[in-house]
C-alpha cells in the first residue's frame, strides 16, 4: 500500500528551481533512497514533504496516507508532523536546542501529540533512550546536547523521531556528519528499529554505499529531477542512465582493483 | 536626500558668519520680534533671543564644526581600533591580553563624566582638537573589539594558514590577507559611530565643556535655548532638528552599508 | 568558580584603582589650585595655607593618592589637633562647596538616579524587545519596516532634544504633567510617577530603539537555526516554537547588554537629570563640574565606574547561568 | 638517499580551558608520539576518524603548529625549531592543500593575486605567462586569473588551491582532506589531477583523508591513526588485503560499498561505543575500550609499532594474522546484517 506519493513536485526559491517536476512513491514499511550530488534538490524535497520550507513557491501534490499535504491547512500538517511522519537531520548538534536537556526535548515531541503526565512522558523518554542504545538512560536524559558525542546525539535524534512510532521517517543525510564506524552503528540501529516498528524510511544521502546497504528502492536525482529509479539490486547492477553509471564509476571502491584513473563526469 | 543633507549644510556654511542685528530685538525680555522665533526673509530660521544673532548662520557654522570634529574623531578611533584590534585578534596571547585589558579599562570609564571632567580642566587652547582626542580615546575600544573578533575569526581561516605555509611574514598576513577582508565591517562600524560622536560632542557642548561660546555648536545652542524653551520653542527646535536629521542620516547610511554586505 | 569570581572582583578593583588614579592626576595637572577652590571667595592667604595643610596638599602627589585610597577603605582624618576632621569609611573626601562628605552626597542622590534608570529600563525592555520580537516574526512586513524606521529614529534622538520637546509639550503646552521634581516613591507615589514619566520616556526612546534592533537581529538569526527547524518538525505549535525554542537563545545576549546598560545608568544619567533638573548622581556630577568641586567629581567618577565594572562581572556570571554550555563546560 | 621527511615522536598537546573562567582544566593530546617517514616520490596516506590527530599531524609537519615534543627533519635538515625567517626558504619545498576550497582562498583576492602570492611572499616574481601556465596545468583557463574565488565551483576552487601549492615547484605537498568537501564526481577529478601532477612535478604527497576509498586510490603507503597514535602502517595493497590491527579491520569493514549484493552479504563489524576523549585517553592500548579482542594485557601495557611482515608495522598485542581473521571473528559476534528488500 502506498504511504507517500509525490506527484510532479516543483519547488523554487525566487528564480532558482530547486525541484523541477519530481515524482516518486513509497510503500509502507519500505526504504526509499533518494541519492544525488549537492544541489540536486534532495534535501529540499524532504523539507517539502515535512512542510518545513520557508519562502519557497511549491506546486504539485504530496499524498501521505490518502491525505494531500501541500493543499492542506497548516494546522493539519502540523498535527501529522512528529506524530505520523518524523524527521532525522544531518547535523545532530545544531539540530538539538543547546538550552534544554535532551530528555526534555524528546518528551516535548511526545507531549505535542499525546496527552500524558510529565511522569509518563519521562518514563517513555528513558525507555526510548535505552532503546537507541544510550547507556544510563535515566541519568543521561538530564544532560544537555553538548555533553554527548556525535553518534550519541544522533541516537537522541532517532529516539525523538521514533517516540511516537511514526509511519514514515525522513532521514536527511543521517550519517554524513559521523565517522564511518559510528555511521555503521547508526545505520544498524535505524535498520533494527525500522524493522521492529514497521516504519517506512525516506533516506536522503549522497553516499551510494549507504543506499546500497539500506534502501529497497532508489531514486537518483539530478538538477531537481529523478533521472533514474528502480529496485536497488537492479539499479546498481544494471544502471540504465549514463548519469547513474558515471556516478557509480566515480566512487573509489575498496573492493575492486585500484584503477589507474577514476571515471569522471 | 538624507545622505546629502549634511553635505549641503556644510557647503552653504561657507557664506554667513555671526552677526548681532540688534534691531530684531524688542527691549521686552529680549525675545525675537515676530512669531516662530522671529522667522523672516532675512533670517529664515529666526534669530537668537537676547542677542539677535542669525540662527541659520549659527546652525550652519555649528554643522561644520560638529561634522569636522566627529569625522576626525571617527578617523582617529577607527585607526587606533583597527590596528590594535587586528594585533590583538590575530596575535593572541600576550598582546591580546594587554590590549584587551586596555579596552576593558577604557570601556569601564563612565566616559561622559570623565570626558566632562577632563574637558573642564583642559586648557582653553585648541578645544576642538582636544575634543577629537578625547572622543577618539574613548571611542576606539568599541571599534577595536569588533575588529578583534573579526580578526580572530579570520585568523582561523584556511587562507591565512595558506599564506603562512607560503612563508608570509606576520605583517604581510595582517595587512595583505586579513585587513582587506575587514574593510567592509570597519566601514560600517565607522559610519555608525559618526552619529555617536556628533551626539557626544553636542552633549559636551550642551553641558558647557565642549566648544567655548563665541564659536557656535549645536549642543551649545540647545543649551542656551534651555532657559528660553517655554517662550521661544523654535530656538531649541532648529538646532535640535538639525542634529536629529544629521544623526539619523548617518545612521541610515550606516545601516544601508551594513545591509549591503 | 569561587576562585574565578574572586579573580574577577580583583580585576574589577584594579580597574577602579586605575580609573581613580587617572582622575586624581587630571586635577593635579589642572591649572586650578584645589586649596583656592576649597577656600571659596572670601579667602585670606592664611586660610589657604591652613586648607593646604589640612587636605595634605603639601605632600607629594603619590602620597596624597595613597591617603585617598586608604580613606576609601579605612576612613581618614583631615588635619591634626583641634582642626582635625574625621571622615569615616568609605571616605571620598568633602565637597568644597557644601563641606558634606562626598559619600553621603552620593547615597542621598542614588534613589533619584535609580528611579530614573529602573523605570526607564522597564519601559524600554517592554517596548524595545516587544517591538523587536514582532518585527522579527513578521520580517519584511509593514509592521517590521515601521518599527525599524522608528527604532532608527529613536537611536538618533539626542536625549536633551527629546527631553526639552517632552517638557515643552506635556508641561508647558498641554499641562498634563507637572515640572519634574525629586519625590520619594514611598512619600508620594503619584507625584513620583508624574515626575519620572518624562525622564523615562526620554531615555527609553533611545534605548528601546537599540533593543528593538538588537532583538530583531538576534531573533532572526535564531529562527534560522537548525534546532528551530527540529522543533517545528516535532509538530509543536508555532507559538511554542517561538516562545520556548527561539526566545530563550535570543534573550541571553540581550540580558548581558541590558546588565551593562543598567549598570551605566545607575551611575547617573547626566544629561537627562540635568535637563529635567532632577537631583540624581548625574546632576551632582554636572553641578560639581560647573563649580570645579573636585572631590565630588572624583567621587562620582569612581561611583559610576564601580557600577559599570560590577555590572560587567554580574553579566558574565549571568551568562554562565543562562547558557548550559558555559555552565557545564565542554564535554 | 635520505627520506624526504622524517618525523620522530611528534607530540602535540593543547591546554583545555573552561569556557568562562579560562582556567586550564586539562590537556588534550591531539598527537601522541607519531613517527613517520615520507620517501621521495611516494604518497603516504594518513587515515583515521575525526579526532585521531591526522590533521594536527599535518599542521605539525608543515610547522603551522608548534610541536610539544618530537623532531621533524625535512630534506635532511631539522626544521623542528626553525624560526620563521630561516624556515621561509624551506617552505618553497614544503607546501599544503587544504580541505575547504573556499575558505582556503582569500575572498578579496583575484586568482592572479592568489597565485602570485607564493612568489611575492618568497621575495620572487612570477615570470610572464607563468600564472597562465599554472592555471592550464590544473585544468583551468588563463582568463580565470581575473576572477574572484566566489565565481568558481568547489572543484575549480580546489584546483586553484592546488595551483598555488605547486607554484614554487615544491618537493612535498601535504594534502589535508583535499577532497572531502567535494561531490563524488568532482572528487574523482581532483584525485586524478593530483596523480597526474605527481608524475609531472615529481612530487611526494602526504595525503590525509577519512575516506578509505580516496586514500587507497592515491597512496602507496598508508598509516592508520587512532586517538593521536599510528596504530598500523603498511603498503597499500598489504594493508587492504591483510589488516593486522583490529581497528584497521573494523574501519575497512565499516566502509559502505556501492553494491547491494556485497554490502548485504558482507559480515559487518559494528564497533561498539564511541571514541574516548583525547583529554582522557584509556590506559595501555588506546583502542582497547572498543576492541573486540581486548584482553587484560591491553589495559596495562601500551603496544608499540612492531614489524610483522616486511614494511608492515602494527601496534597491537594481539594482531590479526590473516586477512580473514577479524571478519570471521566479528561475524560471530555481530552476526551478518539481515539482507532485506531483495525481491
Across the interface, of C231, C235, C331, the residue whose CB is closest to A83 is: C235
Phi, psi of D21 (to 5 degrees): -80, -15
Contact partners, residue A196, CB within 8 Å, separation at least 6? none
| SS3 of residue D42 by DSSP | coil
Which chain A residues have a beta carbon less than 8 Å from that of C229? 52, 89, 95
Q: Do B168 and D105 touch (CB under 8 A)?
A: no
pTM of the shown model? 0.85
The residue that leads in pLDDT, A168 or B234, is A168
Contact C230, A95 (CB under 8 A): yes
Which chain C residues have a beta carbon less than 8 Å from that of D280? none
Contact A206, A214 (CB under 8 A): no
Mean pLDDT of D45-51: 92
Burial class (CB in 10 A: 0-12, 13-18, 19+), B144: buried
| Cα B1 to Cα B9: distance, rounded to the nearest angstrom | 12
DSSP 8-state class, residue C174: S
Judged by a CB distance cut-off of 8 A, whether residue A78 touches chain D is: no
Which pLDDT score is estimated for C39? 65
| Cα A3 to Cα A43: distance, rounded to the nearest angstrom | 19
Most confident of A177-181, A229-233, C28-32: A229-233
Which chain A residues have a beta carbon less than 8 Å from that of C238? 78
Q: Do D20 and C326 touch (CB under 8 A)?
A: yes
Contact B88, B99 (CB under 8 A): yes
**Band (D335; pLDDT cuts 50, 70, 90):** very low
Question: B173 lies in a domain?
Answer: yes
Q: Do B165 and D62 touch (CB under 8 A)?
A: yes
Question: B32 lies in a domain?
Answer: no
Phi, psi of D46 (to 5 degrees): -120, 115
- Name the average pLDDT for chain A: 92
| Cα D97 to Cα D177: distance, rounded to the nearest angstrom | 8
Chosen for mutation from B104, B113, B198 (greatest number of chain C CBs closer than 10 Å) is: B113
Residues of chain C with pLDDT under 50: 331
Phi, psi of B199 (to 5 degrees): -65, -40
Going by their DSSP bridges, the two strands A67-68 and D204-209 should be labelled as unpaired
CA distance C254 to chain A (A): 16
Q: For residue B208, what are the domain limits? A: 67-260
The fold of the D5-219 domain, in CATH, is Rossmann fold (3.40.50)
Q: Chain A 105-124, CB below 8 Å of chain D: which residues?
A: none
Compute the Cα dihedral for D213, A189, D330, A232 and give only its sign.
negative
pLDDT > 90 in chain D, percent: 69
Q: Distances in Å between the alpha carbon of C303 and those of B122, C5, C259?
A: 22, 21, 17
Mean pLDDT of A92-111: 94
Q: Do chains B and C touch (3 or more CB pairs under 8 A)?
A: yes
Going by their DSSP bridges, the two strands A67-68 and A57-64 should be labelled as antiparallel
CA C216, chain centre distance (Å) = 25
The residue that leads in pLDDT, C166 or A164, is A164
Q: Do D258 and A251 touch (CB under 8 A)?
A: yes
Which pLDDT score is estimated for B108? 81
Chosen for mutation from D19, D27, D51, D277 (greatest number of chain C CBs closer than 10 Å) is: D19
Q: Chain C 111-140, CB below 8 Å of chain B: which residues?
A: none
| Cα A96 to Cα D77: distance, rounded to the nearest angstrom | 50
CA distance D58 to chain C (A): 25
Contact partners for chain D, using 3 or more CB pairs closer than 8 A, are: A, B, C
**Band (D265; pLDDT cuts 50, 70, 90):** confident
Which chain A residues have a beta carbon less than 8 Å from that of D254? 180-181, 183-184
CA distance D281 to chain C (A): 14
Which pLDDT score is estimated for B9? 47
| Cα D21 to Cα D18: distance, rounded to the nearest angstrom | 5
Q: Do A146 and C232 touch (CB under 8 A)?
A: no
Q: Do D188 and A179 touch (CB under 8 A)?
A: no
Contact B39, B46 (CB under 8 A): yes
Which pLDDT score is estimated for C322? 85
CA distance A115 to chain C (A): 14
Judged by a CB distance cut-off of 8 A, whether residue A63 touches chain D is: no
Which pLDDT score is estimated for D342? 33
Judged by a CB distance cut-off of 8 A, whether residue D87 touches chain B is: yes
Nearest-5° Cα angle at C246, C242 to C250: 130
C102-330 carries CATH number 1.10.3720.10: yes
Which chain D residues have a beta carbon less than 8 Å from that of A217? 341
Contact D298, D304 (CB under 8 A): no
Which pLDDT score is estimated for C271? 83
Give the total number of structural domains in chain B.
1
Considering only CA atoms, which of D182, D181, D145 is closest in space to residue D164? D145
Examine the pLDDT at D339 and tell me if it is beyond 50.
no
**CATH (domain of B163):** 1.10.3720.10
The residue that leads in pLDDT, D22 or D343, is D22
Contact C92, C300 (CB under 8 A): no
Examine the pLDDT at A222 and tell me if it is beyond 70.
yes
CATH superfamily for domain A2-249 = P-loop containing nucleotide triphosphate hydrolases (3.40.50.300)
Contact partners, residue D104, CB within 8 Å, separation at least 6? B157, B158, B159, B161, B162, D97, D98, D157, D161
Which pLDDT score is estimated for D308? 81
Looking at chain A, which residue has its C-alpha nearest residue C140?
Answer: A55
Which pLDDT score is estimated for B43? 55
Contact partners, residue D85, CB within 8 Å, separation at least 6? none
Contact partners, residue D90, CB within 8 Å, separation at least 6? D74, D75, D77, D79, D82
Looking at chain C, which residue has its C-alpha nearest residue D21?
Answer: C4
| Cα B174 to Cα B88: distance, rounded to the nearest angstrom | 11
Judged by a CB distance cut-off of 8 A, whether residue B157 touches chain D is: yes
Going by their DSSP bridges, the two strands A168-172 and A85-88 should be labelled as parallel
Contact partners, residue D42, CB within 8 Å, separation at least 6? D204, D205, D220, D221
Burial class (CB in 10 A: 0-12, 13-18, 19+), A221: buried
Q: Chain A 167-206, CB below 8 Å of chain D: which residues?
A: 179-185, 188, 191, 195, 206
Residues of chain B with pLDDT under 50: 1-6, 8-24
Question: B72 lies in a domain?
Answer: yes
Chain C positions contacting chain A at CB under 8 Å are 225-227, 229-238, 240, 244-245, 248-249, 323-325, 328, 330-331
Looking at chain C, which residue has its C-alpha nearest residue A79?
Answer: C235
Which pLDDT score is estimated for C82? 65
Q: What DSSP assignment string belongs to chain A?
A: -EEEEEEEEEEEETTEEEEEEEEEEEETT-EEEEE--TTSSHHHHHHHHHT---S-EEEEEEEETTEESSSS-HHHHHHHBTTTEEEE-S-HHHHS-TTS-HHHHHHHHHHTTS---HHHHHHHHHHHHHHTT-TTHHHHTTS-GGGS-HHHHHHHHHHHHHTT--SEEEEESTTTTS-HHHHHHHHHHHHHHHHHHT-EEEEEES-HHHHHHH-SEEEEEETTEEEEEEEHHHHHHS--SHHHHHHHHHSPPTTSPPPSS----
Q: Do A231 and D343 touch (CB under 8 A)?
A: yes
Which pLDDT score is estimated for B6? 46
Question: B206 lies in a domain?
Answer: yes
Question: B12 lies in a domain?
Answer: no
Q: Do D20 and C320 touch (CB under 8 A)?
A: yes
Looking at chain B, which residue has its C-alpha nearest residue C292?
Answer: B120
Which pLDDT score is estimated for C81? 65
- Residues carrying CATH 3.40.50.300, chain D: 5-219
Amino acid at each position: 500500500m502506498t504511504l507517500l506519493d509525490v506527484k510532479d513536485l516543483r519547488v523554487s526559491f525566487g528564480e532558482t528551481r530547486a525541484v523541477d517536476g519530481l515524482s516518486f512513491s513509497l510503500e509502507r514499511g519500505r526504504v526509499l533512497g533518494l541519492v544525488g550530488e549537492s544541489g540536486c534538490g534532495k534535501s529540499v524535497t524532504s523539507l517539502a514533504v515535512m512542510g518545513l520550507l520557508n519562502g519557497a513557491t511549491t506546486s504539485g501534490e504530496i499524498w501521505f496516507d490518502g491525505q494531500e499535504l501541500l493543499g492542506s491547512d497548516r494546522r493539519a500538517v502540523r498535527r501529522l508532523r512528529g506524530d505520523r511522519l518524523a524527521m532525522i537531520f544531518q547535523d545532530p548538534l545544531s539540530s538539538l536546542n543547546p538550552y534544554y536537556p535532551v530528555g526534555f526535548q524528546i518528551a516535548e515531541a511526545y507531549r505535542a501529540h499525546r496527552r500524558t503526565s510529565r511522569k509518563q512522558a519521562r518514563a517513555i523518554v528513558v525507555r526510548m533512550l535505552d532503546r537507541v542504545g544510550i547507556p544510563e538512560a535515566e541519568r543521561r536524559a538530564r544532560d544537555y546536547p553538548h555533553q554527548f558525542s556525535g553518534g550519541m546525539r544522533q541516537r537522541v535524534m532517532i529516539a525523538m523521531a521514533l517516540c511516537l512510532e511514526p509511519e514514515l521517517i525522513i532521514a536527511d543525510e543521517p550519517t554524513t556528519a559521523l565517522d564511518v564506524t559510528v555511521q555503521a552503528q547508526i545505520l544498524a540501529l535505524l535498520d533494527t528499529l525500522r524493522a521492529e516498528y514497521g516504519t517506512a524510511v525516506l533516506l536522503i544521502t549522497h553516499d551510494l554505499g549507504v543506499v546500497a546497504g539500506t534502501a529497497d528502492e532508489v531514486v537518483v536525482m539530478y538538477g531537481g529531477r529523478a533521472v533514474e529509479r528502480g529496485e536497488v539490486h537492479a539499479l546498481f547492477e544494471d544502471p540504465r542512465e549514463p548519469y547513474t553509471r558515471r556516478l557509480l564509476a566515480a566512487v573509489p571502491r575498496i573492493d575492486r582493483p585500484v584503477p589507474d584513473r577514476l571515471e569522471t563526469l | 536626500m538624507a545622505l546629502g543633507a549634511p553635505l549641503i549644510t556644510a557647503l552653504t556654511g561657507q557664506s554667513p558668519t555671526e552677526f548681532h542685528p540688534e534691531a530684531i530685538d524688542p527691549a521686552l525680555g529680549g525675545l525675537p520680534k515676530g512669531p516662530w522665533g522671529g522667522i523672516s526673509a532675512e533670517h529664515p530660521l529666526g534669530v537668537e533671543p537676547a542677542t539677535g544673532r542669525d540662527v541659520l548662520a549659527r546652525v550652519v557654522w555649528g554643522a561644520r564644526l560638529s561634522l569636522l570634529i566627529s569625522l576626525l574623531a571617527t578617523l582617529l578611533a577607527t585607526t587606533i581600533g583597527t590596528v590594535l584590534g587586528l594585533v590583538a585578534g590575530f596575535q593572541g596571547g600576550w598582546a591580546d591580553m594587554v590590549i584587551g585589558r586596555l579596552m576593558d579599562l577604557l570601556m569601564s570609564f563612565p566616559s561622559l563624566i570623565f570626558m566632562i571632567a577632563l574637558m573642564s580642566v583642559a586648557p582653553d587652547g585648541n578645544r576642538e582638537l582636544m575634543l577629537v582626542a578625547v572622543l577618539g580615546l574613548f571611542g576606539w575600544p568599541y571599534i577595536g573589539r569588533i575588529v578583534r573578533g573579526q580578526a580572530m575569526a579570520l585568523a582561523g581561516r584556511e587562507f591565512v594558514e595558506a599564506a603562512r605555509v607560503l612563508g608570509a611574514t606576520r605583517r604581510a598576513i595582517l595587512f595583505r590577507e586579513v585587513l582587506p577582508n575587514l574593510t567592509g565591517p570597519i566601514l560600517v562600524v565607522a559610519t555608525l559611530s559618526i552619529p555617536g560622536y556628533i551626539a557626544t560632542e553636542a552633549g559636551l557642548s550642551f553641558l558647557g565643556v565642549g566648544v567655548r561660546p563665541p564659536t557656535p555648536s549645536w549642543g551649545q545652542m540647545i543649551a542656551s535655548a534651555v532657559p528660553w524653551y517655554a517662550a521661544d520653542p523654535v530656538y531649541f527646535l532648529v538646532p535640535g532638528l538639525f542634529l536629529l536629521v544629521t544623526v539619523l542620516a548617518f545612521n541610515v547610511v550606516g545601516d544601508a552599508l551594513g545591509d549591503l554586505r | 568558580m569561587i576562585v574565578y569570581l574572586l579573580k574577577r572582583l580583583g580585576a574589577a578593583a584594579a580597574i577602579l584603582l586605575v580609573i581613580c588614579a587617572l582622575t586624581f592626576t587630571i586635577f593635579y595637572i589642572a591649572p586650578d589650585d584645589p586649596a583656592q577652590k576649597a577656600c571659596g571667595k572670601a579667602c585670606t592667604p592664611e586660610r589657604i595655607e591652613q586648607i593646604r595643610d589640612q587636605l595634605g596638599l603639601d605632600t607629594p602627589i603619590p602620597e596624597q593618592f595613597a591617603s585617598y585610597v586608604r580613606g576609601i577603605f579605612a576612613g581618614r582624618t583631615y588635619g591634626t589637633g583641634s582642626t582635625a576632621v574625621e571622615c569615616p569609611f568609605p571616605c571620598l573626601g568633602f565637597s568644597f562647596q557644601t563641606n558634606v562628605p562626598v559619600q553621603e552626597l552620593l547615597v542621598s542622590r542614588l534613589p533619584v538616579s535609580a528611579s530614573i534608570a529602573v523605570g526607564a529600563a522597564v519601559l524600554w525592555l517592554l517596548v524595545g524587545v516587544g517591538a523587536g520580537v514582532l518585527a522579527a516574526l513578521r520580517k519584511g512586513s509593514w509592521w517590521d519596516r515601521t518599527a525599524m524606521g522608528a527604532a532608527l529614529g529613536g537611536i538618533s534622538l539626542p536625549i536633551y532634544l527629546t527631553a526639552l520637546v517632552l517638557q515643552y509639550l506635556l508641561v508647558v503646552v498641554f499641562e498634563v504633567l507637572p515640572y519634574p521634581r525629586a519625590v520619594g516613591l514611598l512619600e508620594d507615589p503619584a507625584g513620583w510617577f508624574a515626575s519620572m514619566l518624562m525622564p523615562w520616556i526620554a531615555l527609553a526612546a533611545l534605548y528601546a530603539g537599540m533593543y528593538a534592533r538588537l532583538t530583531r537581529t538576534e531573533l532572526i538569526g535564531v529562527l534560522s537555526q537548525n534546532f528551530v527547524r527540529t522543533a517545528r518538525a516535532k509538530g509543536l505549535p508555532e507559538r511554542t516554537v517561538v516562545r520556548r525554542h527561539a526566545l530563550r537563545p535570543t534573550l541571553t545576549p540581550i540580558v548581558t547588554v541590558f546588565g551593562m546598560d543598567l549598570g551605566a545608568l545607575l551611575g547617573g544619567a547626566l544629561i537627562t537629570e540635568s535637563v529635567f533638573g532632577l537631583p540624581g548622581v548625574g546632576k551632582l556630577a554636572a553641578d560639581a563640574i560647573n563649580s570645579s568641586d573636585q572631590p565630588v567629581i572624583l567621587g562620582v567618577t569612581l561611583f559610576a565606574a564601580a557600577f559599570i565594572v560590577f555590572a560587567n562581572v554580574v553579566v558574565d556570571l549571568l551568562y554562565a547561568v543562562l547558557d548550559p554550555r558555559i555552565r557545564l563546560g565542554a564535554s | 638517499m635520505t627520506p624526504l621527511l622524517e618525523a620522530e615522536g611528534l607530540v602535540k598537546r593543547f591546554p583545555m580551558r573552561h569556557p568562562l573562567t579560562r582556567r586550564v582544566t586539562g590537556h588534550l593530546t591531539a598527537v601522541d608520539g607519531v613517527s613517520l617517514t615520507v620517501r621521495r616520490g611516494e604518497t603516504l596516506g594518513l587515515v583515521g576518524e575525526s579526532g585521531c590527530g591526522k590533521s594536527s599531524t599535518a599542521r605539525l609537519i608543515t610547522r603551522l603548529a608548534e610541536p610539544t615534543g618530537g623532531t621533524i627533519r625535512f630534506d635532511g635538515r631539522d626544521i623542528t625549531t626553525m624560526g620563521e625567517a630561516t624556515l621561509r626558504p624551506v617552505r618553497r619545498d614544503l607546501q599544503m592543500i587544504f580541505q575547504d576550497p573556499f575558505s582556503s582562498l582569500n575572498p578579496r583576492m583575484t586568482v592572479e593575486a592568489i597565485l602570485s602570492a607564493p612568489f611575492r611572499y618568497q621575495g620572487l616574481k612570477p615570470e610572464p605567462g607563468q600564472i597562465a601556465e599554472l592555471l592550464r596545468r590544473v585544468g583551468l583557463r588563463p582568463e580565470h586569473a581575473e576572477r574572484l574565488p566566489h565565481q568558481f565551483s568547489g572543484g575549480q576552487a580546489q584546483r586553484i588551491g592546488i595551483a598555488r601549492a605547486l607554484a614554487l615547484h615544491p618537493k612535498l605537498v601535504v594534502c589535508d582532506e583535499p577532497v572531502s568537501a567535494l561531490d563524488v564526481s568532482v572528487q574523482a577529478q581532483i584525485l586524478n589531477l593530483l596523480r597526474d601532477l605527481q608524475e609531472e612535478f615529481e612530487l611526494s604527497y602526504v595525503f590525509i583523508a577519512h575516506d578509505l576509498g580516496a586514500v587507497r586510490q592515491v597512496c602507496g603507503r598508508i598509516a592508520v591513526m587512532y586517538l593521536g597514535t599510528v596504530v598500523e602502517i603498511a603498503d597499500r595493497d598489504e594493508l587492504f588485503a591483510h589488516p593486522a590491527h583490529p581497528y584497521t579491520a573494523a574501519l575497512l569493514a565499516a566502509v559502505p560499498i556501492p553494491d547491494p549484493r556485497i554490502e548485504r552479504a558482507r559480515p559487518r563489524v559494528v564497533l561498539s561505543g564511541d571514541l574516548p576523549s583525547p583529554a582522557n585517553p584509556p590506559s595501555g592500548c588506546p583502542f582497547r575500550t572498543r576492541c573486540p579482542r581486548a584482553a587484560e594485557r591491553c589495559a596495562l601495557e601500551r603496544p608499540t609499532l612492531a614489524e610483522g611482515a616486511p614494511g608492515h608495522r602494527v601496534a597491537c598485542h594481539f594482531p590479526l594474522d590473516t586477512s580473514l581473521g577479524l571478519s570471521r571473528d566479528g561475524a560471530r559476534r555481530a552476526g551478518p546484517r539481515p539482507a532485506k528488500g531483495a525481491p
